[in-house]
């Protein structure tokens, strides 16, 4: 499956705040069959995160979706996930590959210097952002904007590394981000405002359809 389209991020803390099950939420998101899906569970302990990853693995397999763990290559490896997403303060990409050569690795970058350094190591994808203001992190990096995203896309294409646009991307901004990035990461855009799961699958399919129409 090409790495192109919607990249849902399942934020366990955001779901817990709404009283929603990450497992049930993910089941509905996977109805859109995105190429990638990431579990972000920063507030959970290692044992609980591992248990959740292990529960998500078969769901992702059935959907044909690659499952990435956030920050933790050890848990990704133990759970049988496909990859790990690492930030600038996490285990470096080269160390992840030495530790777990079978894992795919995506890297977060927030400016051109970080982007070029990441591209030189040939990750499986590189994320660039936040493109727009975001509330999904307590202390987000400065926004990069669409023009810098477009410039990042040129560098990523030259390196033949898929580019992920991330940060503050809702339905209204999806096409702007999707015009430049291979993948568009969304978090809040998939979260139901009424603590109900019924609309999640339809929302994920709609966002996927917009990106597939590019």
As given in the structure block, the two tokens for residue 95 are 């160390």
With cut-offs at 50, 70 and 90, classify the pLDDT of residue 56: very high
In the predicted model, is pLDDT for residue 191 greater than 90? no
* CA atoms lying within 13 Å on the CB side of residue 62: 11
Determine the pLDDT at residue 138. Answer: 65
Q: Could you count the other beta carbons within 10 Å of the beta carbon of residue 106?
A: 27
Determine the pLDDT at residue 181. Answer: 98
Determine the pLDDT at residue 214. Answer: 87
What lies within 8 Å, CB to CB, of 128 at 6+ separation is: 109, 110, 115, 144, 148, 149, 152, 156, 163, 164, 165, 166, 181
What number is the average pLDDT over the span 53-82?
Answer: 98
Q: What spatial distance separates the first Cα and last Cα of the chain, rounded to whole Å?
A: 17
Determine the pLDDT at residue 176. Answer: 96
Determine the pLDDT at residue 24. Answer: 96
Determine the pLDDT at residue 195. Answer: 63
In the predicted model, is pLDDT for residue 81 greater than 90? yes
Query: What percentage of the chain carries pLDDT values higher than 90?
Result: 88
What pTM, to 2 d.p., does this model score?
0.95
Residue spans per domain, the chain: 5-212
What number is the average pLDDT over the span 126-155?
Answer: 90
Q: Higher-confidence residue: 61 or 213?
A: 61
Beta-sheet strands, E only, within the chain:
5-11, 36-40, 66-70, 83-86, 104-109, 125-128, 163-165, 183-186
What number is the average pLDDT over the span 10-24?
Answer: 94
In the predicted model, is pLDDT for residue 104 greater than 80? yes
As given in the structure block, the two tokens for residue 175 are 């096409």
Distance CA(117)–CA(97), nearest Å, equals 16
With cut-offs at 50, 70 and 90, classify the pLDDT of residue 140: confident
Average pLDDT, the chain: 94
With cut-offs at 50, 70 and 90, classify the pLDDT of residue 40: very high
Q: Determine whether domain 5-212 maps to CATH 3.40.640.10.
A: no
With cut-offs at 50, 70 and 90, classify the pLDDT of residue 213: confident
Distance CA(44)–CA(24), nearest Å, equals 17
């Amino acid at each position: 499956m090409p790495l192109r389209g919607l990249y849902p991020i399942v934020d366990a803390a955001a779901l817990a705040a709404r009283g929603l099950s990450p497992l049930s939420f993910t089941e509905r998101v996977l109805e859109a069959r995105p190429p990638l899906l990431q579990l972000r569970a920063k507030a959970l302990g290692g044992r609980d995160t591992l248990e959740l990853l292990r529960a998500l693995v078969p769901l992702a397999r059935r959907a044909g979706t690659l499952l990435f763990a956030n920050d933790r290559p050890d848990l990704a490896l133990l759970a049988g996930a496909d990859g790990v997403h690492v930030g600038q303060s996490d285990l470096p990409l080269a160390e992840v590959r030495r530790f777990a050569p079978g894992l795919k690795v995506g890297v977060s970058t927030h400016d051109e210097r970080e982007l070029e350094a990441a591209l030189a190591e040939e990750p499986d994808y590189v994320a660039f952002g936040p493109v727009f203001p975001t509330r999904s992190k307590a202390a987000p990096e400065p926004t990069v904007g669409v023009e810098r995203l477009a410039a990042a896309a040129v560098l990523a294409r030259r390196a033949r590394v898929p580019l992920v646009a991330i940060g503050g991307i809702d339905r209204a901004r999806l096409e702007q981000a999707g015009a430049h990035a291979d993948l568009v990461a969304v978090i809040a855009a998939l979260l139901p405002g009424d603590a109900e799961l019924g609309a999640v699958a339809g929302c994920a399919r709609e966002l996927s359809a917009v990106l597939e129409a590019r």
